[in-house]
Structure 1
Amino acid sequence: MEFGILGPLLIRDQAGEYPVPAAKQRVVLAALLLRPGRPVPAERLAGILWDGRPPRTAATTLRNYVMRLRQQLGPAGTRIETRTGGYLLRIEPAELDVQRFVSLADQGRRALDAGAHARAAELLRQAVGLWRGPLLADVPARALHREQAPRLTELRLTALERCLTAELHLDHRLATITAELRGLTAAHPERERFRALLTAALRQSGRRPEAPAAHRRAGGSSGSSAREPDLAPGPAEQPPSTTFCYLTHHQLPKQVSLFTGREPELHALAAHLTTPPPTAPAVAVLSGLPGVGKSALAGQAAHAVARAFPDGTLYADLRGTSVRPAAPSSVLRTLLLALGVAREALPAGPAARLALYRSLLADRRVLLVLDQARDSAQVRPLLPSGPGCAALVTARGRLHGLPGAVPVEVPLLPEAQARLLLSRLLRAAPVGTGPVADGAPAPVSTDTDADTDADTDVPADTDTGTQDAADGPAALAALAERCGGLPLALRVCAARLAARPGWSARQLAERLGSEQRLFAELRVGPLDVRAGLTAVHQDLDPAAAGAFARLARADRPAFGLRFAEGLLGPGCEAALARLVDAQVLTARAPDWYGFPWLLRVYGRQQPVAAAPAPPQDARAAG
């Protein structure tokens, strides 16, 4: 069993995660996890739950919360034991992330003191890596945050300082930690140690002139007494060439929070990218509908295999869905600068840039992520040629004409994964703050318990019921079904519920039941399901667009070629192929097609110009 408090609450075993949707129950669990194996008095739990002002019914309500929490945690629920005057959670030290963090941080400190820098860096990176976000990110308990956050956050920053101190002795990490230290000094200007480490990193990498300025920008002064770490000078201190000095960059965007599912695709991508063919780079092209999570999957896969590419990871947004996609020559310029080519040495013409780019990567192991590609012509000049490299490409439609590229269609989420993602989004969504972002979860979530108001005394037998049912598993399943397995739609629903605490999942599911206003409901802020589908529709040629609208009116989740010919006429296979390439249809088997629900609804809302009436027996055809 695994329990986590270094970020959103996490409870999982080999069978999967056990989400706790109700905020009050999360508070109880967090209070027990912070005292593992030790009794927590009921009076203390009540004080934490209601921030020092428990209602008269606190004792009974607390028993109800504990009872429901045991049910939510599955097999782990039996570990919550009732003790005289309180409750206890049985847990082994290795099962709780904060205890593993403290143990790894202590081992790393001892290794650093002994001069074992590689071992210290490894242990401390493991310790810091256990933090998935702010402490207790989805637990709305002011008392716990006041008591625990400062202490544990200080332990994390201290471990990070020691980790970077150890890594400064490892030349291959120098470029990466310099970039990391710039961010840390900006985020924590009060920590003198980060400023001293940044100064040392710049000087060791041969960039001595930058050190004083960086120190001042980070909050230090020219007269500061910050002492640099004791580091022996090495070859990295030699000044770089004025023309070229290869830089190892790790440019991957941060991973999307609450990434859910996609295990088969992740395993397949990892295997393909890390076992390239002997004479060419490994290339994978991820395609799918707008909002299905192509970029998120590519980012997750890239982070998973990044260690297999010691010469760096490069990222470029090709802006293929915008009015002005990025020109390959412009992208090559950016990549060459990232690789260390001096501006004055950049070739002027695209052919010369391409030749230099491929020469630099010929004998290196670099992973390239090309996001939002327009077409194969835009991608082809950007692909590395060295067999040790790999490339991940995302595009709305399939990209033909990339030799050796493995196509990976990113499907809509299966029903179970859609429900799980929606549950996690709702658990992490801040109340009344608008759209759910892809960043770290906010510290407060919608409370689905009925008596969460500390100033209101609600009898224990009336504090749940209607609201629990309205936000319970059946309601969440209905809402997830209305979203048709599209992650973007699920995020929109979570954002709408977060912005409207008075709404329930059941009410929103009922609103989505109307086809006339479905897409008006699936929009919040910049998140807009209809806009993505409209972009797909506009890319279709007239014949394919007409076939799309007429097939949608037939309203079949799946159909065969014979049915399509009866509806569209003989020779419709070319139009069907274009719809498959655009991800409007899925080719489930030869001459058999799937038609997702959201697309059928959208298609029925599109005009059919001069559409002949379907034959009477069309609906009965195969």
Structure 2
Amino acid sequence: MKFRLLGHMHATSGDGEEVELGPAKQRSVLAMLLSDAGEVVLADQLVDGLWGAAPPPGARGTLYSYVARLRRALHAHGVELRRHTGGYVLQVEQEQVDLHRFLRLVDEAQAVHEGPWAAALLHEALSLCRRELLVGLPGPWAAGTRTRLEQVRVAAALRYHEIQLAAGRGEEIVARIYELAMAHPLDERLAAQLMTALYQCGRQAEAVQVYEAVKENLGSRLGVAPGPDLRGVLLRVLPDRHPAAPTASTAAPHAAPHAVPVAGVHLLGAPVVGAPVVGRPRQLPAALADFTGRDQALDEVVRHLAGSSEHGVGLAVIAGPGGVGKSALAVQAAHRLCQSFPGGQLYVDLHGLDPRPADPAEVLERFLRALGVHRTAIPDGLEPRAEMYRDLLAERRVTVVLDGAGGEAQVQPLLPGAPGSAVLVTSRYRLPGLPGARPWQLGMLPRHDALDLLRAIAGRERFEREPRASDELVRLCAGLPLAVRVAGARLAARPHWPVGRLAARLADPRLCLDELSHGTADVRATLAAGYRLLEEPARRLFTSLGLDGRTRFSAATAAALLGADLPAAHDLLARLVEVCLLDAAGGDEFVMHPLTVVYARERGQAEERATARTGS
């Protein structure tokens, strides 16, 4: 099992299914046990963590009830919660808990002096911890832990930003710093880094606005003025100052277009009276330096959006199976379109396949704030926010990236209403219900592109020393970019491993999907997200195909495995194709990706074992 505490708490079984964890206080008990995974947690600690110094009558009995329910839920997935003298021990490895992975990565980064390696560790750590922490968990323990973790997160982010700014990468991280600075409007360290990043982007006027906003906040809330460090950054970024020898942390590599004043905007939550205000968002994630194998699709998407936006909203839908590189293509295209759409770039991960997908109304609130609307001026409700959003975009040329959409209904409210903007949508679904959309269906990488990507990630010399093992590794990844990236990352993290060792482990179907996991990138979890979309009959066909083991088969074969007639089999096969767990090969033939077959077999075997245990 895997457990997530850094955000909305949830747990997934080994095959990617979400595990029901019960009500909020019961989840808090599990969170306390997970925070000390493998160690004894006293019952008194659990009571104090839930209710504080004055627990209600019967608190201990309620705790026992929570523990009993958790024990049953976890035992069904092979995790044991054992009674120990005075308390309980949850027997899970710390690597199964995102909290412990986050803290381990931060500790490793602190021990590393080389900037690039420390930045890589911190980037991986912070990617686990982007949302609010321990969301919805009640009790004093959760409140205190939330505060302590936020301090660790901010400290890690400050060091990550420092390394990136010293390398002149302000443009890549300015959106990340802005998001954190919004959450901590009195933190002068974050304000200084945001000002530096804006300066590196050529956005000096906005950097000065940040200073004025922080000055206003400090004065009105604390009655103090900015400290000398922040004032020093202001002197370096003032537009009429020209330092004789600008450093890497303040030099602007290229100039951005002049900011456009927008009335009523407030940076960092405080109004800046008399200052020009900017609502030109730059929210795109960094483009991949090793982007490989999608040049034709990239050129087509860019040409389409650059040419169609004059007559309507340019809309591109990039569809394909999980891990095929949809998000990478969309972000790369959006970066290429920056000059054609100078009004800014909006980006959101819609988490369309998650148990809790992004709410369009909440996305619109984020977009409106990024476009310069103060939070007090944002209306309640989806429709009023959508109207304000469309009105703001009517006179601008903006690129909007809607990543990981779960369906047309999630996308529709986020589309601009007037010509002039470009929208890129990625989804497992083809989303034919979006009017005017041009679809792109991504497939697997050719062998030479997959090998080029591996070389870019893990080093060319390694693969040249072992050409046969390299070819075998590429074959086993079967062109899936996510699998190739994970394999490359695992080799890069293990420079002493020969390529053949990883290839041998991938060749073992019992180990294959375990090996294709690194940080937040996980092939099994990506396949599980598609499986969760299926209804029971389609799931049964999917697992039957996995147990059968063929990668290519006919509709008649599927009908025979299911014990159903051919029309019923066609309906279920169409559903598998719709969620990109299967490809139609023409006629009555279908193809399943080899890694999908491995996952389908895992699911089938797990369900057979569950049936055997229940005796049904």
Q: TM-score range by the shorter chain?
A: 0.5 to 0.7
Q: Is 2:355 the partner of 1:337? A: no
Structure 2 equivalent of residue 318 of structure 1? 350
Residue aligned with 2:321, SS: coil
Does 2:242 align with 1:248? no
Question: Which of 515, 519, 523 is residue 521 of structure 1 equivalent to?
Answer: 515
Q: Distance in 1 between matches of 2:524 and 2:433?
A: 30
Q: Is the 8 A contact 2:262 2:372 kept in 1?
A: no
Distance 1:227 1:342, change over 3 A: closer
SS of aligned partner of 2:404: strand
Residue equivalent to 2:427? 395
Corresponding position of 1:369: 401
Aligned twin of 2:478: 484
Query: Is residue 2:180 matched to residue 1:186?
Result: no
Residue type of the alignment partner of 2:455: S
Whichever residue aligns with residue 607 of structure 1, its letter is: G
CA distance in 2, matches of 1:333, 1:187: 22
Secondary structure class of the residue paired with 2:347: strand
**Shift of residue 327 of structure 1?**
0.9
Residue 134 (structure 1) shift: 7.4
With over 3 angstroms needed to count, the CA separation of the structure-2 counterparts of 1:217 and 1:365, relative to structure 1, is farther
Are 2:404 and 2:425, in contact at CA under 8 Å, matched by a contact in 1? yes
- Residue identity (%): 37
Q: Quickly say closer, same or farther: Cα 1:544–1:357, change in 2 above 3 A.
A: same
Map 1:61-80 onto structure 2 (within 5 A). Answer: none
Identify if the C-alpha distance between structure 1 residues 187 and 483 changes in structure 2 by more than 3 Å, giving closer, same or farther: same
Instruction: Read off the aligned partner of 1:421 and give its amino acid letter.
Output: L
Query: Superposed, which structure 2 residues align to 1:196-211 within 5 Å?
Result: 202=207
Could you tell me which amino acid in structure 2 is paired with residue 332 of structure 1?
L
Matched, 1:328 2:360: yes
CA contact (8 A) 2:506 2:515 kept: yes
Alignment of 1:611-622 (within 5 A): none
SS of 1:384's partner is coil
582-591 vs 410-419, which deviates more?
A: 582-591
For residue 509 of structure 2, give the secondary structure of its aligned residue in structure 1: coil
Residue 5 of structure 2 is matched in structure 1 by: none
SS of the equivalent of 2:459 reads helix
Matches within 5 A, 1:272-421: 272-276=304-308, 279-421=311-453
Residue 160 and residue 515 in structure 1: after superposition, are their counterparts in 2 closer, same or farther (change >3 A)? closer
Tell me the distance in 2 between the aligned counterparts of 1:308 and 1:237.
16
The answer to whether the Cα contact below 8 Å between 1:247 and 1:340 also exists between their aligned partners in 2 is yes
Matched AA of 1:515: P
CA drift of 1:594 comes to 2.3
Partner Cα distance (2:517, 2:414) in 1? 35
Give the aligned residue type for 2:337.
V
Residues 584 and 599 of structure 1 are in contact (CA less than 8 Å); yes or no, is this contact kept in structure 2? yes
Could you tell me which amino acid in structure 1 is paired with residue 598 of structure 2? V
Cα distance, 1:401–1:230 mapped onto 2, change above 3 Å: same
**1:511 is aligned to 2:505:** yes
The equivalent of 2:566 in structure 1 is: 570
Structure 2 residue 572 is the aligned partner of structure 1 residue 579: no
Q: Which blocks of at least 5 consecutive residues in structure 2 are unaligned?
A: 1-114, 121-164, 172-177, 183-188, 219-224, 242-257, 272-276, 609-616
Counterpart residue number, 1:589: 586
Tell whether the 8 Å contact from 1:332 to 1:353 is kept in structure 2 after alignment: yes
Helix, strand or coil at the partner of 1:372: strand
Separation in structure 2 between the aligned mates of residue 341 and residue 374 of structure 1, nearest angstrom: 27
User: Following superposition of structure 1 onto structure 2, how do residues 218-257 of structure 1 map, counting pairs within 5 Å?
Assistant: 219-221=229-231, 228-230=238-240, 240-241=263-264, 247-257=279-289
Cα distance, 1:270 vs structure 2? 0.9
Note the C-alpha offset of 1:202.
Answer: 4.8
Q: For residues 545-599 of structure 1, what are the alpha-carbon distances to aligned partners after superposition, in whole Å with 9 as ceiling and x for unaligned?
A: 2222233344443344455455553112111111111111112335432221111
Distance 1:601 1:158 in 2: 42
Where 2:397 maps in the other structure, the secondary structure is coil
Residue 530 of structure 1, aligned match among 491, 503, 524: 524
Indicate how the Cα distance of structure 1 residues 587 and 217 shifts in structure 2: closer, same or farther if over 3 A, else same. farther
Give CA deviations for 1:168-209 in whole Å, capped at 9, x if unaligned. xxxxxxx9xxx9xx98953998x9x969x9876555x79856
Comparing both chains, which one has the higher relative contact order based on Cα–Cα distances under 8 Å and sequence gaps of 6 or more?
Answer: 1
Q: Indicate the residue corresponding to 1:89 in structure 2.
A: none
1:358-399: CA deviations, max 9, x gaps? 122123211101112222211111111212112111223333
Q: Is the 8 A contact 1:279 1:386 kept in 2?
A: no
For residues 200-250 of structure 1, the C-alpha deviation after alignment (integer angstroms, 9 at most, x for no partner) is: 6555x798565799995682547997694438xxx9798944799662222
Query: Are the counterparts in 2 of residues 281 and 390 from structure 1 also a CA contact under 8 Å?
Result: yes
The alignment yields a C-alpha RMSD, in angstroms, of: 4.5
Residue 265 of structure 1 and its aligned partner are, at CA, apart by 1.6
Alignment CA distance shift 1:279-1:230 (3 Å): closer
User: Of the two, which has the highest radius of gyration?
Assistant: 1
* 1:65-98 deviation per Cα after TM superposition (whole angstroms, max 9, x unaligned): xxxxxxxxxxxxxxxxxxxxxxxxxxxxxxxxxx
Show the counterpart of 1:122. none
Match of 1:475 among 455, 469, 472: 469
Mapped to 1, the partners of 2:205 and 2:234 lie a distance apart of 14
Q: Which runs of 5+ in 1 are unaligned?
A: 1-132, 139-155, 164-174, 429-446, 449-467, 611-622
Cα distance in 2 between the residues matched to 1:237 and 1:257: 30
| Residue identity opposite 1:263 in structure 2 | D
1:262 aligns with one of 289, 294, 301? 294
Secondary structure of the residue aligned to 2:356 is: coil
Aligned length in residues: 402
